[in-house]
With several copies, the nearest count.
Chain A
Amino acid sequence: MVALVTEEIRPRELIQQIKVPEAGALVTFDGIVRNHARGRRVRYLEYEAYGSMAEREMEKIRTEALSRWPLTGLLIVHRVGRLEIGESSVFIAVSAAHRGDAFDACRYTIDTLKQTVPIWKKEHYDDGEVWIEGYGA
């Protein structure tokens, strides 16, 4: 399952979906809003998405990961809107019979998401705000 949400991500409810009896390992990744970036103190973040395309791209990553590794489940949730320090912007959970596959697939998922899913973050500081642009900029 993949989703864009505007409310707080509730990971433990989500992972029950992929904690199947065949799973021996569960690896999760939370991207968390940090209180600093690029040497500046961050007050909060805002995430904007090209919603329908973002969900399609997340689904592509999920499909690709499920085909590359023998997994028992994979979910991706990205939050948009205003996020405070310490909140999770993205949550990925991968279950598999064996831990190596779960680790590799989880890392692949977040690395690819950061390159392909059309979502942007704006950092808000005490004295201004800046849209962050990715690797191509």
Chain B
Amino acid sequence: MIQIRLFATLKDIAGTDRIELETDRPLPVREVFDQLVQRYPGLARYSTVVQKAVNEEYTDWEREVVSGDEVAFFPPVSGG
């Protein structure tokens, strides 16, 4: 099981902040996001700006994740 977390606008679009994804093979982060877009088409407009993190570290689209990993997607940050 891959744990997916969404924040801010992405959470609002999906209507949830946590999603679980079954997988029996390593998935690139790009593919995880594509599966999310299929379920929540409104997320598509974030595909160029979305920030990605695996296990609380920023990462890129090519990074592969496996069961037990936590993958987070969020808009560019605006704290401070």
Contact = CB atoms under 8 A, between A and B. Distances in A.
Direct contact of A and B (CB under 8 A): yes
B79 A119 contact: yes
A119 B57 CA distance: 14
Given A131-B8, A133-B9, A136-B51, A47 B79 contact: yes
Given A50-B53, A53-B53, A137-B49, A119 B75 contact: no
A120 B56 contact: no
Interface string B58-80: 10000000000000101111111
A121 B75 CA distance: 11
B77 A56 contact: no
Interface in A99-137: 110, 113-122, 131-137
A51 B58 CA distance: 14
Contact of A50 (B9, B74, B76): B74
Contacts of B72: 50, 53, 118
How many chain B residues sit at the interface, stated as a range, is 10 to 19
B7 A110 contact: no
Contact of A116 (B7, B9, B77): B77
A131 B36 CA distance: 21
Contact of A136 (B53, B56, B76): B76
Given A50-B53, A131-B12, A121 B79 contact: yes
Contacts of B79: 47, 49, 54, 78, 89-90, 113-114, 117-121
A31 interface: yes
A50 B75 contact: no
A90 B78 CA distance: 12
29 contacts: A31-B80, A49-B79, A50-B72, A50-B74, A52-B56, A53-B57, A89-B80, A90-B79, A113-B79, A113-B80, A114-B77, A117-B79, A118-B74, A119-B80, A120-B7, A120-B9, A120-B74, A121-B79, A122-B8, A131-B8, A133-B8, A133-B49, A133-B75, A134-B76, A134-B78, A135-B76, A136-B49, A136-B51, A137-B75
